Amino acid sequence: MREITAKEVETLLNQGKILNIIDVREVKEVATGIIPGAINIPLGLVEFRMHELDKTKEYIMVCRSGGRSGQATRFLESYGFNVINMAGGMLAWEGLVE
């Protein structure tokens, strides 16, 4: 499983890179703040919403601490998606939130 740090994600966003970020936290968790531009697909719904994703794109998976996003990363990898887990999750995130 490939990983990226929160700081690397923040740097890429600050450089103007367009990233496909999927936050797998529950809706009530996301209400406390989400990385700008991220899409919320709670972990329990990833299996049912993966048809919304494009296998030609790269996705960065995010959760609170990196555990659930790691599960989502492994699951989507098994279906041929290009995914990277953000290590440390939102606990490691120091960038802007919306």
Domain annotation covers residue 80: yes
User: Which residue type sits at 8?
Assistant: E
Interstrand relation of 3-5 and 58-62 (parallel, antiparallel or unpaired): unpaired
For residue 57, give every residue at least 6 positions away whose Cβ sits within 8 Å of its Cβ, in sequence order, or none.
20, 82
Task: Quote the pLDDT of residue 94.
Answer: 97
Number of domains making up the chain: 1
Query: Do residues 84 and 60 lie in contact, with contact meaning Cβ atoms separated by under 8 Å?
Result: yes
The pLDDT tens digits for 66-78 are: 999 999 999 999 9
Task: Quote the pLDDT of residue 60.
Answer: 98
Task: Quote the pLDDT of residue 43.
Answer: 98
Active site residue 63: yes
Stated pTM of the model: 0.97
Query: Do residues 64 and 29 lie in contact, with contact meaning Cβ atoms separated by under 8 Å?
Result: yes
Query: Do residues 87 and 3 lie in contact, with contact meaning Cβ atoms separated by under 8 Å?
Result: yes
Task: Quote the pLDDT of residue 34.
Answer: 98
Mean pLDDT across 9-33: 97
The pLDDT tens digits for 40-94 are: 999 999 999 999 999 999 999 999 999 999 999 999 999 999 999 999 999 999 9
Question: Among 63, 72, 84, 86, which one carries the catalytic annotation?
Answer: 63
Domain annotation covers residue 97: no
CATH (domain of 83): 3.40.250.10
